[in-house]
Every structure is written in C-alpha cells, then in structure tokens.
Amino acid sequence: MKSFRYLFLSVFVLAAVYCRHEPPAQAADLVLINGNIVTVDKDNPRAEALALKGDTIVALGLFKEIKPYIDKKETKIMDLQEKLALPGFNDSHVHFFSGRHAFLSFSFDGVTSFDEIQRRVKEKVMEKWDQEILPGKKWPAKELLDEVAPNNPVVLHRICGACALVNSYVLRISGITKDTPNPPEGAIVKDPGTGEPTGILHWKAMDLIKQPQPSDKESHEMDKEAARLALKEAARCGVTSVQDVPGSLATSHPRVLDRKIAVFKELLDEGPLTVRVSVGVPLTSSPEKIKDYKEWKRMLIDNHHMLKLGATKFFIDMTLGSSTALLAEPYKNDPSTSGLLLMAQEELNDIVAMYDKEEFQMAIHAIGDKGVNIVLNANEEAVKRNSRRDSRHRIEHATVILPGDIPRFHALGVIPSVQPVFGPSYGQTIQPFFENRVGTERTRYTNIWRTLAQANARLGLGTDWPVGSLDPMERIYSAVTRKSISDKTGGARLPNESLSREKAIEFYTLGSAYASFEEEIKGSLEAGKLADIAVLSRDLLTIPEEEILNTEVITTILGGKVIYSSESK
C-alpha cells in the first residue's frame, strides 16, 4: 500500500513538471521577442518575451519559456530589438473633451509673458486677406472656407477691417440668405447668377453675424471629431487608459455629460475607441441624475473593459494661482484671504457618506491644505457612518498638505491623484510661486509625492490634460527631477520629494489602475491581464535624466492590437 502511494505521488509530481514545461494548448496570436520588458509585477519584474492571445497576455518570461506559444502559421512575431516595453500608461486625470479642443483652437503653451499672449492672439485675429494680391485680384468666396471648415464658424477680415469673408456656417447661423436686404451702411455681396450671398459682408453687414450657438447635433459631431483627434494623441503617447474627470461647470452641464457618454458609447460601438476610458461624472443632488449614473454603471460593462463609469467629481476649493485654493492660514501674498470653501464640512460629510453608501467613488478636487483636510475629514466620517469599505475615494491634486494629514491617506484608503506638472510659467521661479502663496514653512509640504508614497499612500499619476500635455515622458521627467520641462536649467524644487523612475512608472500604470478599481485586469504585464503595452525608443530606467524628454513611443498595443507605430507615421 505504501509503495502504491509513493508511485501515485511520483506520477503526480511528474505530471506537474510535465504540465509546466509542455507546450500550451493554444498558440499565441502575437509574441513579442528580444524585449527589455518592465512588467511592474513585483513577483516577476522583468521579461524578454511575451505571448498574447486575443486581448490578453497568456505568458511572459524568458524566450525559451515563450517559444512553445509560437505556431509558425498562427503566431505573429514582433522583434522589440531590446527596446523597453512596459504597461500602457494610464492617465488618472484628464479632461478628454476639453483636451480635444486644444486641437481645435490655438495654444498658449510655453508662454511666459503678457506680450507673447497678445502676440499670439493678434497673430490669429490679424490673419487678414487682401484681394489685391490674390490671383486676378479676385475676391474670395465662402466655398473656399466651406471645404476646410464646414462645421465651424469662420470669419476672416479683409486687411482694412471694413469687410469680411465668412463661411456658409456663419451665414446659416446668422440667417443671412439671398432674401436678406442690405442693412444701412452695409452690403451683402451676392452672386450675380444665383443671388446667393458669396460670403463677403461689407461694413455694417458684418453686424449681422451672430455668435454661433451650435445645435445639440452639431455639438455632438464636434465632440466626436475632437474625441477622434484625442484618441490619436493618446495612442501616440503610449496612453492606453484615461480617467476622464468633469472640469469646469460648463463641462459638468447635464446635457454635456449625456452627450459625452453618448459619444464614447458611439465610438465604442462603431469604432474605433482606442483608449480605455473611465468616464467621471459631476456631483449631483438630483435623484433622477443619480438614477442615470446607476443606469450608466450597469450599461457600461461587458465591453471588453473599454468603457466604464468613473468617479463622481466635485470641487472643495479652486487654485493657488488665483488665491482661491483653501489654506489653513491666510495667503502670504494676500493676507485678506485664505481661499474659497465651496461646501461646508457638514454638508460634504453628508454627501460623501451618501455617495459612499451608494457605492460611488468620489474624486474631490482639493489643492489647499485646509481643503485637503476637509475632504479627509469627510472620508473619516463616511467610514464612521458606513464602516470601512473598499471605497478608494480620491483627492485630485492634493497640492498642499498639513503634516498631520500625511498618514491619513493610507489610514483612510484615500488616493492622492497627482499630476507632476511644473508648468513653464513656474520655471526657475517655481519656489517663489509657492513661497509667495503659502510661505516658506508650508512650501515644504507642497507636492510631497515621495513623502506620501513612503507613508504608503497609493498614488495615481496623470497630466490634467490639456492643462499639461498628454505626454507621459514630461510627467515622468518632472516626477523624477522635480524640474520644469521648459526650463531644464532651473533648479529642482524640493528634490527630496522626487519619485524614483520605477515608482513614477508604477504609479502611472498600476497606481492609476488601482485608482479606478482595475488593478486586477491591467496596470502590470502579467498572464491573464489585458495586453496593453507601450514600447519606447529609450531605456527610461537607465538613460540620463535629460534624455527622458527625448524618449518616444515606438509602438502602442491596446488589447493585443497595434494602435500606433512610429514607423507608419
């Protein structure tokens, strides 16, 4: 009997060994080889090859371990040529629908003086034409603009400013037709053949131009077009997940929100939705809207993890730059104010506890130390009322923190969702910027990412796009150097608060995934997780600091499919 048991055991052990080393049942769709793969998985931090099937990673490790997944007929091979590959970036705080407007308007990026703002505006508004130097001195007509701008209002003044060329869109919204009479001291130029307005409006006829009020349908189309541009930008930046948060009051309007959900849903259904989106919603006290949120939460599942309802966003204060972030002590540059409190503690307690009970995640914007303190208090109260749950409420920005509040992030399970943006306007003067507002002593407690991480807080990293660019290299550069991206010679700000490169990458991938309850399915490269991968031109972990900004994304893979390749640009 005894020997029989031994035999049984040895067969079992053999079977286990056999299973571990034998070829898998199915061949991979794609195998990445010759890689320097940083997995962000503590148990298995590096790999040289990775096999994926459908949208999921099936195995990763040494080439000899992955080789059995290669089927000559079925498996595509991608040679990474020893480049660094890592989980696709997950931006924990973007304004996706405002970000896309950055493409449709013009930019003040890198502007450091009032003159420059004026110059750029002038450049735009002074873009004037003169038929005298056009071929045949011919007057231009609306068709010229309609072709390139069918859905936007365009008004181009002639060099003299006394007349303008407008497109059909402007004529339509202004109700200017062939039957519109000329106003006194003005003229609507009409085509001698058809009688239709040509688009040229002289002097007082320009007063007929109405401010555009796009219809819901037009707004929807504009949003969709802009979202497509934003998707392209995300793919170019190796960003495979974004957490969209409502920004200003205007973008929190219920109609805007409904449209946003509809646009994402359409992109999901019709394609191509090439970034996973967690759609944040604004705080509401309307029972109907809360019902909508619950309905969306139910509706936005079973879509291969492409689209989900995100956190409920709310503002407790505003910004340091405008002296409206709520500070524990008055502003140094304006002692008459300590900033703005947008909701009293008791009311916030009730709201957070209510949303918490309904299993909604809160993402509350708090920049000043008193603002952060009030939000932490509300979280503490929610734990008291509802008992401790895995709520993962977030504080967006958490820029200034009272020393006593540092351990409370971990204790309450509150996530600091931070954006390592040291904007160009700070540059070398970044230190005075904070000192001017919060004073020398409290400046020590601004953007304390390393301290928070050491206190076991789980950070999510992002850009606040379009406040910062969507490019993760800029954020990683600022996170590890504590320097401004536009003024690299300027000194590092509180260098002791820098993150290691490994930590910056971890927070930008797994940390952000945790911040949206998705760390089980993405954020690191592990068998069974989604195959969202970014391949970079440089080894982010070993190159000199200054080279981080020159690092480019070579390939972006989302759910096993290549959605961007720098070679096919």
> With respect to Zn ion, which residue has the nearer C-beta, 360 or 465?
465
CA 274 to chain centre: 13
In whole angstroms, how close is the CB of 301 to Zn ion at the nearest point? Answer: 26
Q: Are 497 and 450 in contact (CB under 8 A)?
A: yes
> With respect to Zn ion, which residue has the nearer C-beta, 93 or 157?
93
Q: Three-state secondary structure along 171-206?
A: HHHHCCCCCCCCCCCEEEEECCCCCCEEEEEEEHHH
Q: Are 367 and 402 in contact (CB under 8 A)?
A: no
In whole angstroms, how close is the CB of 217 to Zn ion at the nearest point? Answer: 28
Q: Are 262 and 220 in contact (CB under 8 A)?
A: yes
In whole angstroms, how close is the CB of 150 to Zn ion at the nearest point? Answer: 31
> With respect to Zn ion, which residue has the nearer C-beta, 66 or 342?
342
Q: Tokens 């007509």 identify what position? A: 141
> With respect to Zn ion, which residue has the nearer C-beta, 233 or 464?
464
Q: In what order do the strands lie in the sheet with 186-190?
A: 155-157, 163-166, 197-203, 186-190
> With respect to Zn ion, which residue has the nearer C-beta, 339 or 462?
462
Structure tokens at 503: 């930590």
Site string for Zn ion, 467-486 (x = CB under 5 A): --------------------
In whole angstroms, how close is the CB of 367 to Zn ion at the nearest point? Answer: 10
In whole angstroms, how close is the CB of 318 to Zn ion at the nearest point? Answer: 11
CA distances from 101 to 223, 229, 244 (A): 9, 9, 14
Angle at 342 between CA 261 and CA 399, to 5 degrees: 85
Dist. CA 136–CA 334, nearest whole Å: 61
> With respect to Zn ion, which residue has the nearer C-beta, 55 or 474?
474
In whole angstroms, how close is the CB of 464 to Zn ion at the nearest point? Answer: 4
Dist. CA 505–CA 500, nearest whole Å: 9
Q: What are 498-505's contacts with CB under 8 Å, separation 24+?
A: 498/449, 498/450, 499/420, 499/449, 499/450, 499/453, 501/476, 501/540, 501/541, 502/541, 503/453, 504/420, 504/461, 504/475, 504/476, 504/479, 504/480, 505/38, 505/40, 505/86, 505/476, 505/540, 505/541
Residue 116 makes CB contacts below 8 A (sequence gap 6+) with none
> With respect to Zn ion, which residue has the nearer C-beta, 186 or 424?
424
* Position 321, amino acid: G
In whole angstroms, how close is the CB of 121 to Zn ion at the nearest point? Answer: 24
DSSP annotation string for 467-485: TS-S-HHHHHHHHHH---S
> With respect to Zn ion, which residue has the nearer C-beta, 366 or 505?
366
Site for Zn ion in 216-275 (CB under 5 A): none
- Name the nearest CA neighbour of 276 among 91, 460, 403, 478: 91
Site for Zn ion in 441-470 (CB under 5 A): 464
For residue 501, the tally of other CB atoms under 10 A from its CB is: 20
> With respect to Zn ion, which residue has the nearer C-beta, 464 or 532?
464
Dist. CA 158–CA 206, nearest whole Å: 12
> With respect to Zn ion, which residue has the nearer C-beta, 364 or 553?
364
> With respect to Zn ion, which residue has the nearer C-beta, 464 or 519?
464
Dist. CA 569–CA 567, nearest whole Å: 6
In whole angstroms, how close is the CB of 283 to Zn ion at the nearest point? Answer: 15
Structure tokens at 158: 């002639």
In whole angstroms, how close is the CB of 95 to Zn ion at the nearest point? Answer: 6
In whole angstroms, how close is the CB of 266 to Zn ion at the nearest point? Answer: 25
In whole angstroms, how close is the CB of 319 to Zn ion at the nearest point? Answer: 10
Q: Are 88 and 534 in contact (CB under 8 A)?
A: yes
> With respect to Zn ion, which residue has the nearer C-beta, 464 or 506?
464
> With respect to Zn ion, which residue has the nearer C-beta, 153 or 462?
462
In whole angstroms, how close is the CB of 135 to Zn ion at the nearest point? Answer: 48
Task: Please compute, for residue 100, the number of CA atoms within 13 A of its CA located in the half-sphere on the CB side.
Answer: 17
In whole angstroms, how close is the CB of 93 to Zn ion at the nearest point? Answer: 6
Q: Which residue is nearest to Zn ion (CB)?
A: 464
**Number of residues forming the site for Zn ion (CB under 5 A):** 1
Three-class SS of residue 237? coil
Site string for Zn ion, 49-88 (x = CB under 5 A): ----------------------------------------
The CA-to-CA distance between both ends of the chain, in Å, stands at 70
Residue 109 makes CB contacts below 8 A (sequence gap 6+) with 424, 469
For residue 379, the tally of other CB atoms under 10 A from its CB is: 27
Dist. CA 38–CA 46, nearest whole Å: 5
> With respect to Zn ion, which residue has the nearer C-beta, 32 or 311?
311
Binding site for Zn ion (CB under 5 A): 464
